[in-house]
Amino acid sequence: MSMRDFSVGRWIPLKIKVFFIPAVIIILSAFQAPHLDSSSKIKVVTSVFPLMEFARAVCGERGEVSLLVPPGAEIHTWQPRPSDIVRLSSADLFIFIGSNMEPWLQDILEGVQNPNLRTLEASQEVSLIERDPTGGEHQDETEHQHEHEAMDPHIWLDFQVDELIVERIAAVLSEMDPSGTSVFEKNASAYKENLRKLDRKFKESLAECAHRVFILGGHAAFGYLAKRYGLRQISLYGVSPDSKPTPKKLIEVVELTKRHGIQVIFFEASVSDKLARVLARETGARTLVLNPGANLTKEEMKLGKTFFDIMEENLENLKDGLGCR
């Protein structure tokens, strides 16, 4: 879809201050490379790391793919700078998650000075699941105030969904560069096969475990993974990592942990493990890391860490924490 077709549904974007005016953007753009013609590589910008890897795999040598958010930044709370808007203005295609994953999305797109920028909202054709901070079957009135905000945006943690995203990326790139269609389709097919292998490995490895419940001392980022493999996620708070749990919620999770006989509390790689350590101390459990993979650190980028590397590490820790055979 074109930028003019872009819609953010009913969610309310985070209000941010982006100090720029169109004239400044035009001046800064003069120092950027000129807009690529049809014989040049397609310039793609993505909002999260998994989308960058998917796009790079599909593009191959026919595209240049970069991540808009800098290494180590938290996707939900990051604030764009004028230079980020300039960079996006020089792109041909912007791929993002949507579904409230990027609260700054509408603001940055309104500042883009490129009427030809194509956009791809990865969550648009995905059956989103509702967030549930408790991991249970109940949500209270406050959690239902904004229907769209109540949807979990971490869609890349379902590898079957990732196959659909890869297909859509290949289709859009083929529209933009018809002569590269066979390359995009071949690359997409190869990457999808790797996703299927990863999915099978998760299914087989998590089939027989002592526990089907895992506790997160952080936000509810793993709902899609839990649903895919018949697990139950219990977290201290909802899908936003800047939320804070109430004392009541902390007590409830401690009781749940003891009741299920859970020996491991998980925490996210990019979020403080303080609350996970509190839970572990109160329940006699130990801690392990789970990484949603929305972004990488500078060190991980330098080492060439991949989406598959992150997911393989998650699988090993899940097998350990759940007591899988």
- SS (HEC) of 256-283: HHHHHCCCEEEEECCCCCHHHHHHHHHH
268 CB-side CA count, 13 A: 22
Of 147, 167, 197, which closes a domain?
197
What is the reported pLDDT for 149?
Answer: 54
Co-location of 51 and 170 in the same domain: yes
Q: Give the chain's domain count.
A: 2
Same domain? For 166 and 60 the reply is yes
Residues 5-30, mean pLDDT to the nearest whole number: 41
Of 149, 172, 197, which residue sits at a domain end? 197
Q: Is 234 within 8 Å of 215 (Cβ atoms)?
A: yes
For residue 102, the Cα-to-chain-centroid distance in whole angstroms is 9
Work out the average pLDDT over 104-126.
95
Residues 34, 104 within the same domain: yes
Round the average pLDDT of the chain to a whole number and report it: 85
Tokens representing 225?
């993974």
In terms of Cα–Cα distance, which of 86, 7, 103, 2 is closest to 47? Answer: 103
Judge if 35 and 163 occupy the same domain: yes
Residue 130 pLDDT: 85
Separation of alpha carbons 231 and 212, rounded Å: 5
Mean pLDDT along residues 218-230: 94
Which alpha helices (DSSP H) does the chain contain, by range?
22-29, 49-59, 82-89, 105-111, 159-176, 181-205, 223-228, 247-260, 274-283, 298-303, 307-322
Instruction: Answer yes or no: do 165 and 241 share one domain.
Output: no
- Report the alpha-carbon distance of residue 104 to residue 115 in Å, rounded: 19
Note whether 212 and 147 are same-domain residues.
Answer: no
CA-angle at 49, arms to 186 and 39, nearest 5°: 45
Give the residue, 163 or 146, on which the prediction is more confident.
Answer: 163
- Where is pLDDT greater, at 189 or 5? 189
pLDDT value at 141 more than 50: no
Residues 185 and 225 in one domain: no
More confident residue, 33 or 267: 267
pLDDT confidence bin for 218, thresholds 50/70/90: confident
Q: Where is average pLDDT lowest: 84-93, 180-189, 271-280?
A: 271-280
Cα–Cα dist 324/209, whole Å: 4
Is the domain of 182 the same as that of 217? no
Residue 41's pLDDT is what?
Answer: 95
Chain segment 148-195, per-residue pLDDT in tens: 457 899 999 999 999 999 999 999 999 999 999 999 999 999 999 999
Claim to verify: residue 159 and residue 273 sit in the same structural domain = no
Answer for the pair 318, 214: CB distance below 8 angstroms, yes or no. Answer: yes
d(CA 148, CA 90): 31
Same domain, residue pair 213 and 193: no
Q: What range defines the domain where residue 274 resides?
A: 203-322
CA distance 245 to 134: 11
Handedness of CA 228, 234, 240, 241 (dihedral sign): negative
Do residues 118 and 21 both lie within one domain?
yes
Determine the Cα–Cα distance for residues 204 and 325; give it in Å rounded to an integer: 10
Name the β-bridge partners of 17: none
Please give the structure tokens belonging to residue 248.
Answer: 């009541």
| 3-state class (DSSP) for residue 64 | strand
User: For the purposes of burial, counting CB atoms within 10 Å of the CB of 289, is it exposed (0-12), middle (13-18) or buried (19 or more)?
Assistant: middle
> Range with the lowest mean pLDDT among 8-12, 48-52, 88-92, 244-248?
8-12
Q: What CATH number has the domain bearing residue 296?
A: 3.40.50.1980
| Domain endpoint, select from 169, 197, 225 | 197
Tell me, yes or no, whether 29 and 51 share the same domain: yes
For 18-39, the pLDDT digits (tens) are 444 344 444 444 444 344 444 5
